[in-house]
Amino acid sequence: MAKVNFTLKASLLSVLFWIMESLIHKLFFLDNFEIIPVEANELWMRVVIVILVICFGLYADFQTKILLEKEEEKRLIFKATVCSSQHIVNNLLNQMQFFRMKADEHNAFNSEVIELYDQSLQEGEDLMALLSNVDEITEKNIRMSVSPK
């Protein structure tokens, strides 16, 4: 999610509102064009609306910042989980390689079983590599990275 400055947009919208309100009074109510109205009630209403719009922009910026921080935290947790899982799986694969070397020494299995075993090892390595390379962390992307083709 990209950072958007809602406070700046709200401020610009407030300035636009203020000018439009002055133009509406000039054109429709045939008043003098006043950027700052002399009537206290009109000034009070404009100021309240401008403050509300700017406060909404501040609130939106604050909530966006919280959301971005949560997304970044989830991304870091995912990466740490994948690295930890990769470490565990790599240890397991290395132990399985050791098992294969011992099986080769004693000719304990026929060539078809050894070939299937090698394919399983390679598939495990490939799936861990795919899972490690997920860029956009969504449930769908994670599942698609390791789903059977």
What local confidence, expressed as pLDDT, does residue 149 receive?
65
Give me the pLDDT at residue 2, please.
62
In a domain, 43, yes or no: yes
**How much is the pLDDT for 14?**
97
Mean pLDDT over all residues of the chain?
87
Kindly state whether residue 1 falls inside one of the protein's structural domains: no
**18 assigned to some structural domain:** yes
Q: Which two tokens stand for residue 97?
A: 């390689």
Q: Is the pTM of this model over 0.75?
A: no
Q: Which residues fall within 8 angstroms of residue 85, CB to CB, at 6 or more apart? A: 128, 131
pLDDT at 3: 72
Chain segment 55-92, per-residue pLDDT in tens:
999 999 999 999 999 999 988 998 888 888 888 888 88
Which residue did the predictor score with more confidence, 25 or 2? 25
Q: Which domain holds residue 109?
A: 6-146
Q: Could you give the number of structural domains in the chain?
A: 1
Residue 101 lies in a domain: yes
